[in-house]
Amino acid sequence: MGTFYPGPVNELWRRASRIGRPAEFDSKGTAASFECGVSVRVFVLVDEKGVLSSVRYVSNGCGWSVAAAEAATRLIEGKRLRDLHALDELESDICTVLGPVPDSRESCIAIAVEAVRDALAEYRRVRAAEWKGETALICSCFGVSEETIESLSASGEAETVEDIGDLCRAGTGCGSCQILIREIILEGLR
């Protein structure tokens, strides 16, 4: 029997195992397209070792959207935050899983990645809000404070976000703190 979607997309859509709002999660993220009306919400649970122990999602979208979110959650569940490398490769990894992706469907993949990124950013914000250190926590993946980044920047050892990552790993996990690191570096140059 023929199917409406290409094989891998159909398989992930029909056998979606991570769909549904979980009872327990640490943070959630949402992404949507006003063009086609799809929205995807991703829920993450992170254990004490910084491992994404559970990643679930809900989507009101088509088979492509569900398959992209399903693939994204399967790809990152079980990984450590610090091994996600700012999700730089998630989009291309999803494309590899789904097979050739027509231009008209690229937004389905982008929305899934954006929802994951948003969930990890919220996780970072929650962790930062809980931080009991004396100065603000900037990188919650690696517990790096504002003071540490300021002093690396002021010492001249670090001029870029990448330098900071090399020296103390801040910014090399989920990547959601990179914008703050950049601001601290720029602030120090003023």
Q: Which is nearer to ligand FES, 16 or 144 (CB)?
A: 144
User: Smallest gap, in angstroms, from Cβ of residue 100 to ligand FES?
Assistant: 32
Tokens found for residue 77: 């569940």
SS3 (DSSP) at 100 = coil
Q: Which of 92, 116, 108, 131 is nearest to 174 (CA)?
A: 116
Q: Which neighbouring-strand residues pair with 6?
A: none
Q: Which residue type does 122 have?
A: E
SS3 (DSSP) at 169 = coil
Q: Quick one: DSSP state of residue 103?
A: G
Using CB under 6 A as the criterion, what x/- string covers residues 93-132 for binding ligand FES?
-------------------------------x--------
Q: Which is nearer to ligand FES, 58 or 81 (CB)?
A: 81
Our finding on whether 140 is near ligand FES (CB under 6 A) is: yes
User: Smallest gap, in angstroms, from Cβ of residue 143 to ligand FES?
Assistant: 9
Our finding on whether 170 is near ligand FES (CB under 6 A) is: yes
Q: State how far Cα 143 lies from the chain centre.
A: 18
User: Smallest gap, in angstroms, from Cβ of residue 84 to ligand FES?
Assistant: 8
Residue 54: count other Cβ atoms within 10 Å of its Cβ: 18
> Could you give the CA distance from residue 19 to residue 66 in angstroms, rounded to a whole number?
8
Among 139, 149, 161, 185, binds ligand FES (CB under 6 A): 139
> Could you give the CA distance from residue 134 to residue 150 in angstroms, rounded to a whole number?
14
# chain residues binding ligand FES, by CB under 6 A: 13
Among 59, 65, 73, 176, binds ligand FES (CB under 6 A): 176
Contacts with ligand FES, residue ranges (CB under 6 A): 81, 124, 139-141, 170-177
